[in-house]
A and B are shown apart, each in its own frame.
Chain A
Amino acid sequence: MAPLLELNHVTKRFGQVVVARDVSFTIEDGAAVGIVGPNGAGKTTLFGVMSGDLRADSGQVRLAGRDVTRLDAAERTRLGIGRTYQVPRPFSGMTVFENLLVAAQQGGERRGAASHSLAASALERARLSERANLRAGQLGLLDRKRLELARALATRPRVLLLDEVAGGLTEPEVREVVGIVRETLAEGVAVVWIEHVVRALLASVERLMCLADGAVIGDGEPREVLSSAAVREVYLGSEAAFEAAS
């Protein structure tokens, strides 16, 4: 069977700068994969190429064997690629529940009643039930992050791309986000998670990739990746990786 998500020799440039160079990897159904790497390594760009926000200059993106390289973000969402932004982008004039309803109707389930229950379960999963009728613009950071996650969940993804959902949160808040991600994984949804908070990743993923300068320089069992020479060199001086690895 074809892997769920597959990148074949993807290259992406912004002008003269190569932000992804000949990147290839596969994500299996239900997998939990973390991505680390210094700022500017090309992590978010890679998400853009996977979700359809960005078009690869060359190479191929496949979802469950189907070539989706030329599809736009909306079409890919409907096929099962969900994504969150690093800085949450809720529809701020709408209520929390309306945000989820839009996602459920467009990405997940067109029928009225079914989309309502899809939105409601995403609401509950992200522990936002008490905020359902607040305008999204009024939410604090944690709730915005929860909403960002819930909105992606409401599109009923087969693979969920998380871009630093734990960034900027306190320790207990991070634990809560980890809990939500684990529940999502338990339902069989594959998760690819970019995160600087390495503790959060180690608590959730079984595979870790390290990106540097647009290329994958480490891929495998998380602790082994973090302790490998190449990754240590990239992270030299960065406490996070060493702390986590030791």
Chain B
Amino acid sequence: MTWLNAIVQGILTGGFYALFAVGLSILFGVMGVINLAHGDLAVIAAYVALAMIPVTHLPAVLAFVVVVPMFAVGGYILQRTLLQASLDRDPFTTLLVTFGLSVVIENVLLEVFTSNTQSLNIGSLLFDTLNLTPQIPVSYFSLVMLAVAVGVLGALQLFLSRTGTGRMIRAVADDREAAQLVGANYRHIFGIAAAIALATVSIAGIAYGILSGFTPTAGTANLLFAFEAVVIGGIGSLWGTLVGGIVLGIAQEIGAQINPAYQVLAGHLVFLAVLALRPRGLFGLRAAT
């Protein structure tokens, strides 16, 4: 039963990883940007929520309503200024710029919020569980986050396949120059993609802040998990990212079941195995022929 519990908890964690990873996947898929500041951006979202609560007196759960739109706008602006300027030079510059951004964010957060561990308090909501059996407690909050992850991915899938803007994003991701030739302003499209990426990562960041304590440097570890989820699932596949997150989550929980020290290691091993055996990930698109 403890094994079954590990799998259930792994799936719940996986939803959270997917939420974290989807923005990373979009930024890479559409613009070819590997955003090394992705985890730090999530941590900013947690801190913004933290700073907002004493001012607005909103319950922490409602932080999403304020922070997510804020991040969407911020993502658009970040893309149209800093990231686009570096993309216009070359992709390697962009990698360095996001790395620099990561360092700057961590240090500014340290300066403002100190290195004390913080958390977002949602009271008893966090501890309420649905007991499938006495051995398998399912936290309502984790369940809701899994549902949110599935909902976000589903909405994105619909958006990309059914709307004009979504098709434009796919077209620009496919061939930027050809997209311009049919009249697309690719910079604007990049901005929209970045807005989506940052909106999703802010949800993940706040959820993270609620689920566990966070410090200014928490972003780096989370970036690694997000990377692993994307690579396991396969770059360019939204549902693959969810599956990747879940595979990673289950691997970690099972590892922890064997020995708590193996939790993170088990995830890394599965990641390594996928890289070795299926470098394009479980759902990765085959190379264009």
Q: Which of chain A's residues have a CB closer than 8 A to the CB of B168?
A: 102, 105-106
Is B136 in contact with chain A by the CB < 8 A criterion?
A: no
Is A101's CB under 8 angstroms from B182's CB? no
Is B223 in contact with chain A by the CB < 8 A criterion?
A: no
Nearest CB to that of B236 among chain A residues?
A93
Interface residues of B (CB under 8 A from A): 164, 167-168, 170-171, 174-175, 177-186, 285, 288-289
Is A89's CB under 8 angstroms from B182's CB? no
Q: What is the total of A-B residue contacts with beta carbons within 8 Å?
A: 79
Q: Which of chain B's residues have a CB closer than 8 A to the CB of A106?
A: 168, 179, 182-184
Is B170's CB under 8 angstroms from A91's CB? yes
Is B178's CB under 8 angstroms from A89's CB? yes
Is A29 in contact with chain B by the CB < 8 A criterion?
A: no
Is A93's CB under 8 angstroms from B285's CB? yes
Task: Bits for A71-94, please: 1 = Cβ < 8 Å to B, else 0.
Answer: 011100110000101000111111
Give complex CA distance A53, B170 in Å: 20
Is B288's CB under 8 angstroms from A102's CB? no
Q: Which of chain A's residues have a CB closer than 8 A to the CB of B184?
A: 74, 102, 106
Given A74-B186, A93-B174, A93-B285: A102 and B179 within 8 A (CB)?
yes
Nearest CB to that of B169 among chain A residues?
A102
Is A151 in contact with chain B by the CB < 8 A criterion?
A: yes
Q: Which of chain B's residues have a CB closer than 8 A to the CB of A45?
A: none
Is A103's CB under 8 angstroms from B175's CB? no
Secondary structure class of chain A's binding surface, majority of residues: helix
Is B170's CB under 8 angstroms from A155's CB? no
Which 8 pairs between the two chains have the least Cβ-Cβ distance?
A: A107-B183, A106-B183, A103-B182, A77-B183, A91-B174, A89-B178, A73-B180, A74-B180
Q: Which of chain A's residues have a CB closer than 8 A to the CB of B164?
A: 101-102, 105, 110, 112, 115
Expressed in whole angstroms, the minimum distance between the Cβ of A177 and any Cβ of chain B is 19
Known: A91-B175, A103-B183, A106-B182. 14 other contacts (CB 8 A): A74-B183, A77-B182, A83-B181, A89-B175, A93-B174, A93-B285, A94-B167, A99-B171, A102-B167, A102-B171, A105-B168, A106-B183, A137-B288, A155-B183
Q: Which of chain B's residues have a CB closer than 8 A to the CB of A115?
A: 164
Given A105-B164, A115-B164: A94 and B185 within 8 A (CB)?
no
Give complex CA distance A53, B180 in Å: 9
Task: Bits for A191-220, please: 1 = Cβ < 8 Å to B, else 0.
Answer: 000000000000000000000000000000
